[in-house]
């Protein structure tokens, strides 16, 4: 595996049919050409992901949408006009171009235009190499199935190096600005439905489209499993008032194996490890996954997490913490 900062090197790897770890503004993805069954099969193997879980296809710009999707409703066009490039994925009926090996056999396809400049450059180069500007890159988050998504190139390497060949590439685009995965909106029905929370909120969708937003879906989505985004440490989502009480039960010597994840205004009780002290909900989202990884690097057994306010991206942070804390 080769680490690079040159988007051309990543585009060339993809063009050959190799894999590339790719930065986006949300989290890093593990990408392959969306038209190459063999490369996509390697993504599933590297992630250890069930074959019927569909992937997101990343495209260069909104004008490529109709090459991948059919019957795109007006409200979906309103959303992407305002929010692409950005942390929004839409699910629409698929065109024949979106094969079963990308959609997990679903009749729909998930599409996204990332705002990360390097991702845009990779798509441009790849399109030029193949003479096809509407080419897609299928890329799920670059983590093993069920684990924490990567927000740096180093995270991608620590997750997946064992599953990459010498010809695969990881493109270093720095720390992800958003830190949690894109909002996914099912646009196959009359009304939008929120499949996964992210930086784009249900209120944003209503403001832009004037429509009520439904929740849930029968479609398989890994990020909607009860248990997901889990570090090895035991995550407990607690109220601020529970902190002292809980630590009262902790023998002093065990405190050093306990981490705290909470907004900066919550002070750190003596002896426990402060994993992050974000000032805002946006900061909380941005540092969340790195903090959970840090807990594992420090071999902590417990992470006590106090949620941010549920407004804005705070709802997505609470969603991820709830799944990280879920025990099967």
Is residue 183 involved in binding Mg ion (CB under 5 A)?
Answer: no
Is residue 109 within 8 Å of 102, Cβ to Cβ? yes
Whole-angstrom distance, CA of residue 221 vs CA of residue 55: 9
275 closest CA partner among 223, 225, 233: 233
The residue among 3, 1, 24, 26 whose CA lies nearest residue 122 is: 24
Query: In three state form, how does the secondary structure of 252-321 look?
Result: HHHHCCEEEECCCCCCCCCCCEEEECCCCHHHHHHHHHHHHHHHHHCCCCEEEEECCCCCCCHHHHHHHH
Can you give the length of the chain in residues? 328
- Which x/- pattern, by CB under 6 A, does the window 160-199 give for ligand TXA? ---------------------xx-x----------x----
Q: Is 259 within 8 Å of 273 (Cβ atoms)? A: yes
Find tokens 């830190």 and name the residue.
Answer: 179
User: Shortest distance, CB of residue 43 to ligand TXA, whole angstroms?
Assistant: 9
Contacts (CB under 6 A) with ligand TXA, residues 15-74: 24, 26-27, 29, 53-56
Select the span of 102-110, 129-137, 300-308, 318-326 touching ligand TXA (CB under 6 A).
102-110
| Residue 41 Cβ vs Mg ion, minimum distance, rounded to whole Å | 18
Work out how close the CB of 41 gets to ligand TXA at its nearest, in angstroms, rounded to a whole number.
Answer: 15
CB nearer to Mg ion: pick between 3 and 145? 145
The answer to whether residue 223 forms part of the interface with ligand TXA (CB under 6 A) is yes
Can you tell me which of 36, 114, 141, 197 binds Mg ion, judged by CB under 5 A? 141
Sites of contact with ligand TXA (CB under 6 A): 24, 26-27, 29, 53-56, 89, 91, 103, 106, 108-110, 112, 139-141, 181-182, 184, 195, 219-223
Sites of contact with Mg ion (CB under 5 A): 141
């Amino acid at each position: 595996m080769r680490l690079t900062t040159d988007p051309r090197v990543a585009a060339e790897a993809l063009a050959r049919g190799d894999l590339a770890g790719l930065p986006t503004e949300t989290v890093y993805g593990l990408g392959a050409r969306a038209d190459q069954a063999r490369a996509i099969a390697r993504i599933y193997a590297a992630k250890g992901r069930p074959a019927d879980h569909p992937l997101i296809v990343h495209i260069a710009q909104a004008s490529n949408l109709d090459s991948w999707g059919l019957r795109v409703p007006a409200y979906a066009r309103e959303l992407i006009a305002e929010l692409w490039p950005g942390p929004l994925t839409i699910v629409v009926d698929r065109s024949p171009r979106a094969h079963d090996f990308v959609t997990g056999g679903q009749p729909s396809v998930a599409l996204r235009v990332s705002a990360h400049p390097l991702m845009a450059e990779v798509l441009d180069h790849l399109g030029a190499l193949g003479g096809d500007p509407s080419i897609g890159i299928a890329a799920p988050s670059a983590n093993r199935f069920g684990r924490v998504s990567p927000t740096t190139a180093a995270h991608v390497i620590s997750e997946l190096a064992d599953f990459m060949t010498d010809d695969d590439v990881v493109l270093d685009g720095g720390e992800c600005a958003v830190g949690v995965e894109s909002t996914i909106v099912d646009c196959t029905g009359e009304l939008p439905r929120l499949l996964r929370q992210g930086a784009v909120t249900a209120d944003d969708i209503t403001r832009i489209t004037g429509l009520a937003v439904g929740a849930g879906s029968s479609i398989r989505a890994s990020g909607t499993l009860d248990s997901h985004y889990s570090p090895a440490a035991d995550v407990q989502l607690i109220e601020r008032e529970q902190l002292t009480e809980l630590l009262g039960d902790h023998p002093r010597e065990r405190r050093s194996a306990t981490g705290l994840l909470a907004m900066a205004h919550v002070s750190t009780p003596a002896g426990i490890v402060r994993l992050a002290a974000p000032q805002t909900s946006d900061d909380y989202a941005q540092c969340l996954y790195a903090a959970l990884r840090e807990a594992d690097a420090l071999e902590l057994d417990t992470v006590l997490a106090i949620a941010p306010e549920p407004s804005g991206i705070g709802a997505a942070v609470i969603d991820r913490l709830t799944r990280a804390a879920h025990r099967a």
